[in-house]
């Protein structure tokens, strides 16, 4: 068996990969069987490529093609990120549908299929990733590909009453039936998918809720919550505590408790709502904590050329300045906004030194930051995870985290205070339950479980 992984972007063979990351899990799977990792190179060119660029690294062929400027604007920025991304995250106010976006999305999937189909072998297993490439299996089947094809959706699948806001949605749903196996992050996402295919295109779903059939086509589907490499993450975090950056953070805190958030800049992360919730925390509990804690929010820049994301940056900067202006003193600034990419090992060290991890997206497929935060803690003095109930991770980590509604400033404020004042015995007990969950479903276990089920479809 040879594995073929297809994703929108392909990492460079020489790129550094963080411990426990998705790229590591997929690369390890490819190295075991040999195979191809195919997708967009990240480059743009005047024309599409008739032949891909191939870089051989051991037994893995990193195989890439460029996109044209039009492909980038309409397939990637347009349909993928202005239509499917907000739709699947239940942010309909941000959805901007155009027929030209959809046409480009379908056309780029045809382009990918044309290039990769010629490089497939009869005994291959194909694993396609994420919302950019939903129609790809259907295009491969049109080209005579009979190999087992699996698909994994890394973002949420929305409820049907949200999904039906998508124009011309039936063709997208029908394309799922060209897969042998479709994986989702949570059981709720799988139920939403089953509801959509039954109500919109008349598919039948078996009693066990894992097989859908329509017009002679059959697809298996289930939840496969993605995990991390717990041991490697914990080791990196512990090692980073004693580095220069870790020691500087310890000195800068001067005994204060650290509340930390770390997110890619995106409206789905609810960062403005989080700042307003922190302001509510200061209103309600400020006299109790005074200058004994500090909230540090790290935001990694994302899609900096998109106006919506520039506006989020402006809002965060304005809210941070306003909140600090109201609550700071000559000896204390309660909120610090760090607008830059922080190396992963450094970030894990910060997690390890913190008392509260604030992970409150408005909606998220999984959110591996929540899992990494727990893995970075030490049993001697574990921090507490305050987690959005609307993140996929909440389905697994509910007993180990303080769950909050990210739309409620009062709930988030109360969650922060509860976490800061939680006694050691409860913190330790919650952390132990969380680690047990993480160790039962690592990135390797996630990968092998999916591939085992896909192989059984052959």
Instruction: For the chain, count helices (H), then strands (E).
Output: 18, 16
Lowest mean pLDDT among 9-23, 50-64, 279-293, 323-337: 9-23
Q: Do domains 2-227+443-456 and 230-439 have the same CATH topology?
A: yes
Residues near 380 by beta carbon (within 8 Å), at least 6 away in sequence: none
Average pLDDT along the chain: 94
What are the sequence ranges of the domains in the chain?
2-227+443-456, 230-439
Set 154, 195, 235, 291: catalytic member: 154
Under DSSP, the state recorded for 107 is H
Question: Tens digit of pLDDT for each residue in 187-216?
Answer: 999 999 999 999 999 999 998 999 999 999
Alpha carbons 456 and 257: distance in angstroms, whole number: 50
Alpha carbons 249 and 252: distance in angstroms, whole number: 5
Q: What is the pLDDT of residue 20?
A: 47
Question: Tens digit of pLDDT for each residue in 272-312?
Answer: 999 999 999 999 998 888 889 999 999 988 765 667 778 89
Alpha carbons 319 and 325: distance in angstroms, whole number: 10
Question: Tens digit of pLDDT for each residue in 434-453?
Answer: 999 999 999 999 999 999 99
Q: Does domain 230-439 have CATH number 3.40.50.2000?
A: yes
Under DSSP, the state recorded for 51 is S
Q: Shortest CA distance to 406 belongs to which of 393, 421, 391?
A: 391
Q: How confident is the model at residue 169 (pLDDT cuts 50, 70, 90)?
A: very high
Q: 244 catalytic, yes or no? A: no
Alpha carbons 117 and 420: distance in angstroms, whole number: 55
With b meaning 16 or more CB within 10 Å and e meaning fewer, what string describes 254-277? eeebbbbbbbbbbbbbbbebbbbb
Ramachandran assignment for 180, one of left (phi > 0), alpha (psi -120 to 50 degrees), beta (any other): alpha
Alpha carbons 340 and 216: distance in angstroms, whole number: 51
Q: 381 catalytic, yes or no? A: no
Lowest mean pLDDT among 17-21, 278-282, 287-291, 320-324: 17-21
2-227+443-456 fold: Rossmann fold (3.40.50)
Alpha carbons 444 and 449: distance in angstroms, whole number: 8
Does residue 375 contact residue 438 with C-beta atoms inside 8 Å? yes
């Amino acid at each position: 068996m040879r594995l073929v992984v297809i994703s929108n972007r392909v990492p460079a063979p020489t790129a550094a990969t963080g411990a426990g990351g998705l790229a590591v899990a997929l690369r390890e799977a490819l190295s075991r069987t040999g195979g191809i990792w195919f997708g967009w190179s990240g480059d743009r060119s005047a024309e599409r490529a008739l032949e891909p660029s191939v870089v051989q690294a051991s037994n893995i062929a990193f195989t890439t093609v460029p996109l044209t400027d039009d492909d980038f604007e309409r397939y990637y920025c347009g349909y993928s990120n202005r239509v499917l991304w907000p739709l699947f995250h239940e942010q309909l106010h941000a959805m901007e549908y155009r027929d030209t976006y959809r046409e480009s999305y379908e056309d780029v999937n045809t382009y990918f299929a044309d290039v990769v189909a010629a490089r497939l072998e009869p005994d291959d297993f194909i694993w396609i990733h994420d919302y950019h490439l939903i129609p790809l299996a259907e295009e491969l089947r049109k080209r005579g590909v009979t190999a087992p094809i699996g698909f994994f959706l890394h973002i949420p699948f929305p409820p049907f009453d949200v999904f039906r806001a998508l124009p011309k949605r039936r063709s997208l749903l029908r394309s799922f039936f060209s897969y042998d196996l479709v994986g989702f992050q949570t059981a709720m996402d799988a139920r939403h998918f089953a509801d959509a295919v039954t109500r919109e295109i008349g598919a039948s779903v078996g009693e066990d809720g894992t097989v859908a059939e329509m017009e002679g086509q059959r697809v298996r589907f289930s939840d496969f919550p993605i995990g991390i490499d717990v041991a490697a993450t914990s080791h990196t975090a512990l090692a980073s505590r004693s580095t220069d950056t870790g020691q500087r953070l310890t000195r800068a805190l001067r005994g204060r408790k650290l509340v930390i958030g770390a997110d890619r800049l995106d409206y789905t992360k609810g960062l403005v709502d989080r700042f307003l919730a922190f302001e509510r925390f200061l209103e309600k509990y400020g006299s109790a904590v005074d200058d004994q804690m500090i909230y540090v929010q790290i935001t990694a820049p994302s899609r900096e050329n998109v106006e919506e994301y520039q506006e989020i940056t402006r809002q965060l900067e304005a809210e941070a300045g306003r909140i600090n202006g109201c609550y700071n003193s000559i000896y204390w600034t309660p909120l610090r906004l760090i607008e830059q990419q922080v190396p992963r090992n450094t970030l894990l060290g910060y997690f390890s030194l913190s008392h509260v991890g604030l992970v409150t997206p408005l909606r998220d497929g999984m959110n591996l930051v929540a899992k990494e935060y727990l893995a970075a803690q030490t049993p001697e003095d574990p921090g507490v995870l305050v987690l959005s109930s609307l993140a996929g991770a909440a389905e697994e980590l509910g007993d180990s985290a303080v769950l909050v509604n990210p739309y409620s400033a009062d709930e988030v404020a109360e969650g922060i205070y509860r976490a800061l004042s939680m006694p050691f015995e409860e913190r330790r007990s919650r952390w132990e339950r969380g680690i047990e969950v993480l160790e039962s479903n690592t990135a390797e276990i996630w990968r092998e479980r999916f591939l085992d089920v896909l192989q059984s479809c052959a």
